[in-house]
Structure formats: C-alpha cells, structure tokens
Chains A and B, each alone.
With several copies, the nearest count.
Chain A
Amino acid sequence: MIDLETFRADAQAWLATMVPEFGRDARRGISDEADLALGRRYMAAKYEAGFGGIHMAEEFGGRGLSGLHKIAFDSEEMELGFPSGYFGISLGMPIPIIMKFCEDKAWVRERVIAALKGEEIWCQLFSEPAGGSDLAGLRMKAEQDGNGWKLNGQKLWTSHAHIADYGIIVARSDPTVPKHKGLTCFWIDMHGEGVTAKPFELLDREVVCNEVFFDDVKLTDGQRIGPVGGGFGVAMATLMIERYVAGDADGFGPTIEFFMDTARDMDLGGRPAIEDGRIRSAIARNFALRNGLKSIRDRAFLMMEAGMEPGPEGSLSKLLSVRSRQKLSELAIDLKGGDGLAYDRDAFSKEDWVASWLSVPTGRIAGGADEMLLNTIAERILGLPQDHRPDKGVPFNQIPA
C-alpha cells in the first residue's frame, strides 16, 4: 500500500491542478445550479484521477487504501473550498449502508460508482419535526401494503433532499411497541410518486436543508434495509460509520494564524491589538485547545494504523472546537469595530469572521447538539446514568404528545 506521506504529496499535487477550475475563486458569485454542476464535474475528475473511492475496493473503482489515506485526502481538500459538500453525506452514510445491508450487489455497485462520480446523490431521512435529538421518537408511518409498504408523514432537516436521487429513510412500522423497537429502515427513490422535497433557508441564507413530505409512497419489500423492527439499529450503524472522519481542530473556522493576522491589523488603544493581554490570552487558549485536539486526532490515527481501537476522546473535537470558534468569531468582529460590521455573502467560513460566526449555530446543532454530545460523553464514556426519560419502555402510541 502506498505510504501515507507519498499519498498525501500526490493528493496535494493533483488538488493544486484543480484549483483554477474548482477552487474558491472559481465559485464566487455563481448560481447554486452552476455550483452543483461544477461539483459534479469535480467529482467525476476526482474519480478519474483515482481519488474518488480511496478506501473502497477496486470493483467500485476504488484503490483499496486505508481510512487514513482517505482522511489525509479530505483534510487537504477541505482547505481549498472545492464544491464537494453536496456529496459528503451521500458518500459518508447512505452509500456505506447500502454496501453493508443490500443484497442486490450489482445494483449496489452501479449506485456506488454513480455516487462516487457525482452523477447520483443520496440523502438520509432521519430527523422529523417532533424529534431531532430524540431519533427514536419519530412518527413517519410505514404500513404493510400488499407485499410491500406504504409511507406517510414528514421528515425535516434532510440535507440536500432537493437535489437527491435516492434516500435512506427510517419509519415507524409498529407503534404498539416501545419507541426504539418499532422502527424499520428503507431505501427510496427521491423522484418517486408522492415524495416532495421543500428546501428552506438557514439563518445565513444557505439552502441545504429540506422538509420532505411523503404521501402514500409505495415501496417494495426489497427496499427494506435490515429486519422489520430493526431500523433503530441500522440508523445507529449509519451514525457510527463515520465516527472517525476527519475532524477539524479549527472547528471549521479560521485558523489561529488568521486570528493573529486580524489582531495584528487592529488598533487597540493606540497599539496593535495583538500586544494586548486579552488578545494574547485568546490566541494562547485557542492554540492550546486546538493543539490538544490535533494531538488526540493524531494519536487516533496512529492507533488505527497500528490496528488498535482509538480512545473515546475523539468525540470531544466537534463539541470543543465549534463552541470555542463561536466566541473567537464574536471577539474578532467586535475587535474590528466598524469594519467588523461588513458582510460578504460569498465569503468562506474559514477565511472570514462574519461568515464563520453565522455558520457556528448550525455547526453546534448538526451532527449532535452540544447537550446531546455531553450526554453521550457522560453516559458512554464516564458511565453516568441516563437522564430521566418518561417515555422509556412505554408503547409509542401511549406516549403523551
């Protein structure tokens, strides 16, 4: 297997050649549609160059390399602002799920390759109006319908549903048993009859999330993933698959060096702000935090390389990095005073304080709200008791709404 550093150098070299066509500057000011089309072309080029399915088997056009190779590529790619965000969830969760659970392997191979090339996009339909954090509280109905199934209900927060071709969905197939036990998982055709995706805007005007309505949507039993009543387990497997994806110690915001540049440029009481103790404290504390998170990540990589299971401390990264980015972004904006008020809608959240600040609240919710992450750490790592849950063990249809 190609060693990691050589691979990283190859990746950097190839990525550099892609910058003029797909880099941040090429994307400025173009329409959403044009950007998606650009993204599809980028994915095709990536597949062509052998960086599409880095850690997948060769039958999918992959290279059979390790997860570390993939993470190395992703970290390099992330810095360049390529239009790859449309395909992240698609390849990160639904595709591994169908590879693991679906029996029609030829069909799966077709889907995987089309997804890697950016020709098809998958979405993941889990959250609902009544339950984001509380996944098992979902209400989407799946009823037996002849040999197949019929779906009715509504999903919410589904990323990229409006541009997706397929989806993985969890629905309630039996409301008479406790809430974790009555769920079943399916794959669906997003263009099928009765499926309506309505995109809506987030607070920074980004259009990623959707409400998706299901109105007597018919499925064959072949679209079922995993056993009837086994949907919660499949959903959990999905959420675990990408546990060790590339974290970002900068919390997907600007680097410390970028903050230092900001502070060097600003005057504070007649001196550069970077000479002020409060600013030095912010720099030092954030550096120390990020250095710790990087060390945790590097250690996890080394352990995985050595065939060991990394420690649970990897779960701290998003919680700590995104939360601290929020306050640092606020400070940077305040520090800039009049200049801090200006907003460039095309700015990238790693290179602009207002863009960073506006994107934080979504980051603190998506992929697990802070409070849920703290619960997970407390319960799974430290062995502390679950919160009181009045709905525990109660048949779903007897839980008061």
Chain B
Amino acid sequence: MTILYDEAQLSIASESRRVLDAQYDLERLLDLVDVTGQYDERIWQTAVEQGWTALSVPEQYGGLGLGLIEMGLIAVSLGAVTAGAPFLTGNDAFVQLLLAGIDEAAREAWLPRIAAGEAIGVAALGEGTSPLPPVPAVTFSNGKLSGAKAAVAGALQADAGIVWASSGGSPVLALVELDDTMRRTVDSFDNARLYAALAFDGAPAKVLLEGDAARAAARHALARMAVVSAHEQTGGAQQAMVIARDYALERKAFGQPIAAFQSIKHRIAEIYGLVELARANCIDAAASEGKADFVLKACAVRLTASEAYDTAARDAVQIHGGIGVTWQLGLHLHMRRARSLSAELGSPLFWEDLLVSELEGVGA
C-alpha cells in the first residue's frame, strides 16, 4: 500500500462526494436529531446502490474486496455531509470480525447479505467508559450471552452483532442475532447515530474466536473502526472549515469581510493545519493495515482527527457569531457529530494510553 491515492481511489473520493452532495437534505438531518430510531434511509439506499456495503466484503462472498483506503474515502464523504446513516463503521467491523473468525457458515450466511445491503451488522465491544474492556463483563456460557453493552452506534437498526464477552476467564467474540428485546434506546444529542445499549439475557450466540485470537481480532477491529471513523471525522472537519471560510469571506463587520481580521483568519489557518494532519494520518493509517504498527497508527489518527473535528466544529460555530447558534442553520450538526464520534469509540484518554503502550511495545 502506498500513501498516494491511485486514480481509482481518487474517483471513489470524488464520486461518493458528488452523490452525497446531490442528496444532501438539511431539513431531513435536522428532523433526525430529536427523534430516536430514525435514520436517513435514502442515504443508506444510496450507499447500497453505490456498492459501499460491498466494499470490504471479499469477492467470494459477493463483495468488491477493496481495502481500508477505499472504505476511508467513502467515510470522508459521509463525514462531510454529517450523514444520517450510521452503519458504515459497524458494518465494516462486523465483516472484519467474521473474516477473522473460524465460522465459515456464518460468513456464508451473513457476508452476501451485508454486501447486498440486506442486513446490517455491528461490533459490540465497549462497556461503560472503555471501548474494549480487558475483561468484558458480558459473559458467554452454554451458547448464551448475558450482560449489557454500552451505547453502540447503529445498533437500533442492526440485524446482528459480534460481541466481546468473557467465557470462563477467557475472552470470546460471539455472533448474535439482535431482536428488539435486546435493544435499549439511548436518547442522544445525535439520534441519527441510532444508539442502543444491548442487554443480553441468555441470548443464543455462536463463538467466532476465543482466547488470544479473539483478543487480537477485537483489537484489530477496534483499530479499524477508529481509522474509518477518523476518516469520517476528517471529512466533517474539512467541511466545517470550508463553511467557516466561506462565511468569513462573505460576512462583513466594520466595513470589511470578517476574514480580514486575524483572529478569524489565523483561526481558520490553524484549523487547516489540524485537518491536514488528520488527513495525512488517515492515509498513513489506512496504508498501514496488515503491518505491525497498525494499532499505533490508528491511535495517532484517532487523536488528530478527533482534535481536528472538535476544533473545526467549535470554531466554525464561533466564527459565525449569532447565526451559528441557530437551529435552522444546522451548523450544530457538525458540533454534535464531532462529539458523538469522539465519545462513541472511547475518549482521547483511552487512545493516548493505547498509543503509548504501543510505543512501549506493551499493547492494550
């Protein structure tokens, strides 16, 4: 893998953005903020039609067999439009974990449906404040799962999940079909993320991996989710920056565009720096999959992309002044999404610790 995008990749980037821009509907997105259980079905339909659900599924299971770089480029475009369909990251992690697992039947059952957009999967790894607890409190025994998982994005509408659980002192990854009794809606400040806590009360499940293999696969899946999510954050950050820049050029105060005031001008330049660092780390991390330092690179991009999106969203609102804090302008969608993407995969503190552990050669 190289950190230069090739022609095909560049066309994925521009084409996905074009398709999404054409369907951008601010009113619809604003409607999704307040209600639980709804998402932007048209965008997801587009994702299916465009083959994005098939992207990372191997060809033998009806997919396109493309890699993390391509997945990331789609995520950048989805991030830019604060897409109201939260399945990309979870679906991809579900696919990765199935591929890592030992259960060929499960792959054959699920991967073609995922690729075709007929089913949606999630990875339910986190509990409480940790996106990957060393010893999960959810237990697996006698083919059944018990216990609760923290808010999982997309889980309100997903068909199946792969769950990080403990089985007699050893970790497992277990595949479970989700039904409504297991989902507890989390009413959030960003409801288009479709958050649900998952509560298992003896739900039947199949073990895909156990022990060290499960731990390695879960770590990899978490890192991969972080990288996909970082692309989404970077897309959002870039878009918030562009919105802020355009407004600063157009809005006048004291007889000149506010962009001529260095407090505004330099702030946008600083955001540019954060966005470009995030983008550079995105490319680097995506190209590192399969290498020994993939988790390390995932930590690096997670941190820079979170910082970029937080700063861009916060400052874009501030640069807009009063109009920036109105409901109708919708700039708060970036602010909400920056926060939800940051909180849902573990705090910066978790990722800082993991990064240093990786540098120390300890691992999580």
Contact = CB atoms under 8 A, between A and B. Distances in A.
Is there a contact between chains A and B in the complex with CB atoms less than 8 Å apart? yes
Interface of A: 127, 130-134, 137, 156-157, 200-203, 205, 209, 256, 260, 266-270, 273-274, 276-281, 283-285, 287-289, 291-296, 298-299, 302-303, 306, 313, 316, 319-320, 326, 330-331, 333-344, 354, 357-358, 361-362, 364-365, 369-371, 374-375, 377-378, 381-392, 394, 399-401
A390 B332 contact: no
B266 to A, nearest CB: 4
A303 B10 CA distance: 14
Contact of A292 (B280, B324, B347, B351): B280
SS of B interface (majority):
helix
Contacts, number: 285
A287 B300 contact: yes
Interface in B309-364: 310, 314, 317-318, 321-322, 324-328, 331-332, 335, 339-340, 342-344, 346-353, 355-356, 359-360
10 contacts: A276-B349, A284-B353, A285-B303, A292-B280, A330-B342, A337-B343, A338-B344, A371-B261, A371-B263, A382-B269
Contacts of B353: 269, 277, 280, 284
B317 A288 contact: no
B339 A330 contact: yes
Given A287-B300, A291-B284, A299-B4, A383 B249 contact: yes
Q: What 4 A-B pairs come out closest when comparing CB atoms?
A: A338-B150, A391-B255, A292-B277, A203-B332
B310 A316 contact: no
Contacts of A137: 253-254
Contacts of A316: 273, 276-277
Contact of A342 (B129, B187, B325): B187
Nearest to A386: B260
Question: Which range holds the interface residue count of chain B?
Answer: 35 or more
A265 B199 CA distance: 21
A280 B265 contact: no
Contacts of B351: 284
Contacts of B261: 371, 387
Interface string B243-265: 00100110011111101111111
A338 B128 contact: yes
Contacts of A130: 252
Interface string B151-194: 11000000000000000000000000000000000111110010
B272 interface: yes
Among B152, B255, B300, which residue has the most Cβ atoms of chain A within 10 A? B255
